[in-house]
Chains A and B, each alone.
Chain A
Amino acid sequence: MIELQEVTKLYNEGRPNEVAALGGVSLTIARDAVTVLTGPSGSGKTTLLSLVGLMARPTTGRVFLDGEMISGLPERFLTAERRTRFGFVFQRFNLIRGLTVMENVMLPAAPLGEAYGAVRARAQARLASLGLADKAEIPVEYLSGGETQRVAIARALINDAAVLIADEPTANLDSALADRFLEIVAGLRGEGRTIIMTSHDPRIWGAEVVDRVVEMRDGRVVR
């Protein structure tokens, strides 16, 4: 379970271009559920996702992970938590061009010190489960949009993340691929994973697989 208490986030703090991205958000995200953050651009969805995924620290307020306050921990502890418990699918997928599908998928495991063969076997299995077994050695720039997204999902799950965080996952996909994504989400939820997404897309927050929709506006949770 992830809990945020009165969390605020300022960017460029103390400078003329200071921006208040979040203004006192309290939110509890249930385990093994699919939660969607929605709201207009600039409402603070992505910032909230960053805080939930331990990519950023709140300016004020506290973040709890399974009852333990983690918002004050140094970066290396946050990174250790993030890489073993969270997986990220970015809006633009952010795969590294020039590397193969397999190399991209294995990247999050590189700092963990696991045996190369074991990581590779896990990556192969994950790619196979997402229908990408035959694409493993292809450089990622040669993939279609849907394939790219599935590689991003495989990469997010290589360390067996319990929480999958996805930022506007269907923003660049057509309807068929969005449906395919929802199927994958349903499968992951069935595996007992927690999924947190941001989305403008009514197909997402209206989908059967979604357990909760959190609506945001001007840096606050409104519903």
Chain B
Amino acid sequence: MTPWINRQRSLADYTLAALGRRKGKTFALVAVYALVVFVVASAMLFATALTREADLVLAEAPELTVQHVKMGRHEMIDGAEITKIAGLRGVSSVEGRLWGYFYDATSGANYTFQVPSDPALVPGPGEAIVGEGVQRARRATWEGAPLFLSRFTGDMVKFEVARTLGAESALVSSDLVLLNEADFRAFFDLPDGVWTDLAVSIRNPREIDTVIDKASRLMPDARFVTRDEIRRTYQKLFSWREGLMIALASAAVLAFAIFAADKASGLSADEAREIGILKAIGWDTRDVISMKLWEGALVSLGAFLIGTLGAYVHVFGFGAGLIAPVLKGWSVIYPDFRLAPLVDGMQIATLFLLTVLPYTAATLVPIWRAASADPDQVMR
């Protein structure tokens, strides 16, 4: 081994022994540090995974959605518009969609009602396929369980729960109630030939702006929403919430930096004496700073690893129970699902910069000051 490696090994050995001698202080420092990392890492990992989930779900969404707008509000769209849009060059298909929201006073939750476009998901007459959040809210845990829903007219309608949608799609399906078209129209008293919106498929996605341009001339009272716009909305929403959490956590990071600086600058009499002894027996300022950097590296990397791993387990193992209500959604029915593990290297690097650098910066100057002490002080 080279002298440099030998020197680093000796300094690291000494540092480990020093940390071992101050178990209580070391443990407290690592615990506080790891907690700060845990909170920030949880927010970052969760928001990233959530955004990815949204991306995966949106991959199935139509390139373009057309809605009828009246007085700035979304209204039902006439089926005649399907023909108009379908006739535009570049449009491969247009499909009317039926969906809407329903407030269930029994569970105090809002459900999303929908007629599925996938024939395999269309339930039979009098049947409903429900998301796992609805199943939980109404305790309809078995196949064929009755689902009584109160219509806007006040009368009760009974559906049988044909099955429950899997947790893998819970981000969008948790509050879902799927009905066939006839039951849907009957439940909401909708006439034939009107749709909630139109899903438009476009042959060449690069021509989407051209299609919107042409369609908007045909339908000046329509709103055109692209898949990318929805994706961006999701991303902004999650990023905003993540940013809010990190902004709150940054106060904790700052508090921690002050705590670390205070710890480092307020070296105990024993620590100051120890530095004096080391200098007196032949260590120079550089050696003491190296040793303290080793100490800082062991504490900060240890806490960083513990905090990050803790956040990983928290987010991907336990569904981010501590922060999910802030980040996940706005509904009474929070989706209950496991996020696919996803770690963004850039985010981990950012987290490292947000936590390890402030600690190092906060401790370096006080350590340098202590390490620069005259060695002859130990003689007195």
Contact (Cβ within 8 A) B282 A111: yes
Contact (Cβ within 8 A) B281 A114: no
| Nearest CB of B to A133, in Å | 21
Q: In the complex, which residues of chain B have a beta carbon less than 8 angstroms from the beta carbon of A49?
A: 379
| Nearest CB of A to B332, in Å | 57
Q: In the complex, which residues of chain A have a beta carbon less than 8 angstroms from the beta carbon of B270?
A: 97
Looking at A74-82, A173-181, A199-207, A214-222, the stretch in contact with chain B turns out to be A74-82
Number of A residues with CB within 8 Å of any CB on chain B: 38
Q: In the complex, which residues of chain B have a beta carbon less than 8 angstroms from the beta carbon of A82?
A: 282
User: Which one of A76, A98, A167 contacts B17 once the chains associate, using CB atoms below 8 Å?
Assistant: A98
User: Which one of A56, A76, A110, A156 contacts B374 once the chains associate, using CB atoms below 8 Å?
Assistant: A56
Question: B280: CB under 8 A from chain A?
Answer: yes
Q: Which of B1-51 contact A (CB under 8 A)?
A: 1-7, 9-11, 13-14, 17, 20-21
Question: B286: CB under 8 A from chain A?
Answer: yes
Number of B residues with CB within 8 Å of any CB on chain A: 35
Interface string of B240-284 (1 = CB under 8 A from A): 000000000000000000000000000000100110011111111
Interface string of B354-370 (1 = CB under 8 A from A): 00000000000000000
Q: Which of B310-368 contact A (CB under 8 A)?
A: none
| Nearest CB of A to B61, in Å | 63
User: Which one of A55, A80, A156 contacts B379 once the chains associate, using CB atoms below 8 Å?
Assistant: A55
Question: A96: CB under 8 A from chain B?
Answer: yes
Q: Give complex CA distance A90, B273 in Å.
A: 13
Most-contacted residue by chain B among A76, A79, A109, A110 (CB, 10 A)? A110
Q: Taking CB as reference atom, which chain A residue is nearest B372?
A: A75
Contact (Cβ within 8 A) A108 B17: no
Q: Give complex CA distance A56, B3 in Å.
A: 28
Contact (Cβ within 8 A) A46 B282: no
| Nearest CB of A to B375, in Å | 5
Contact (Cβ within 8 A) B375 A55: yes
Contact (Cβ within 8 A) A99 B17: yes
Question: B380: CB under 8 A from chain A?
Answer: yes
Contact (Cβ within 8 A) A96 B274: yes
Q: Taking CB as reference atom, which chain B residue is nearest A110?
A: B10
Q: Taking CB as reference atom, which chain A residue is nearest B11?
A: A110
Q: In the complex, which residues of chain A have a beta carbon less than 8 angstroms from the beta carbon of B380?
A: 46
Q: Which of A153-196 contact B (CB under 8 A)?
A: 155-156, 159, 167
Q: Give complex CA distance A97, B7 in Å.
A: 22
Question: B285: CB under 8 A from chain A?
Answer: yes
Contact (Cβ within 8 A) B21 A107: no
Contact (Cβ within 8 A) A88 B6: no
Q: Give complex CA distance A84, B281 in Å.
A: 10
Question: A60: CB under 8 A from chain B?
Answer: no
Contact (Cβ within 8 A) A116 B10: yes
Most-contacted residue by chain B among A46, A75, A76, A113 (CB, 10 A)? A113
User: Which one of B21, B281, B287 contacts A88 once the chains associate, using CB atoms below 8 Å?
Assistant: B281
Contact (Cβ within 8 A) A90 B378: yes
Q: In the complex, which residues of chain B have a beta carbon less than 8 angstroms from the beta carbon of A156?
A: 281
User: Which one of B2, B5, B7 contacts A111 once the chains associate, using CB atoms below 8 Å?
Assistant: B7
Q: In the complex, which residues of chain B have a beta carbon less than 8 angstroms from the beta carbon of A108?
A: 281-283
Q: Give complex CA distance A99, B277 in Å.
A: 13
Contact (Cβ within 8 A) A113 B7: yes
| Nearest CB of B to A12, in Å | 12
Contact (Cβ within 8 A) B378 A56: no
| Nearest CB of B to A9, in Å | 10
User: Which one of A50, A75, A113, A167 contacts B6 once the chains associate, using CB atoms below 8 Å?
Assistant: A113
Q: Give complex CA distance A97, B273 in Å.
A: 11
20 residue pairs from A and B, CB less than 8 Å apart: A55-B375, A56-B375, A79-B282, A90-B280, A94-B273, A94-B277, A94-B280, A98-B17, A99-B21, A103-B14, A103-B17, A108-B282, A109-B10, A110-B10, A110-B287, A111-B284, A111-B287, A113-B3, A114-B6, A119-B10
A83-B282, A111-B283 given; name 8 further pairs at CB < 8 Å.
A55-B379, A79-B279, A83-B283, A88-B280, A94-B280, A99-B21, A110-B7, A111-B7
Which B residues have a C-beta under 8 Å from some C-beta of A?
1-7, 9-11, 13-14, 17, 20-21, 270, 273-274, 277-287, 374-376, 378-380
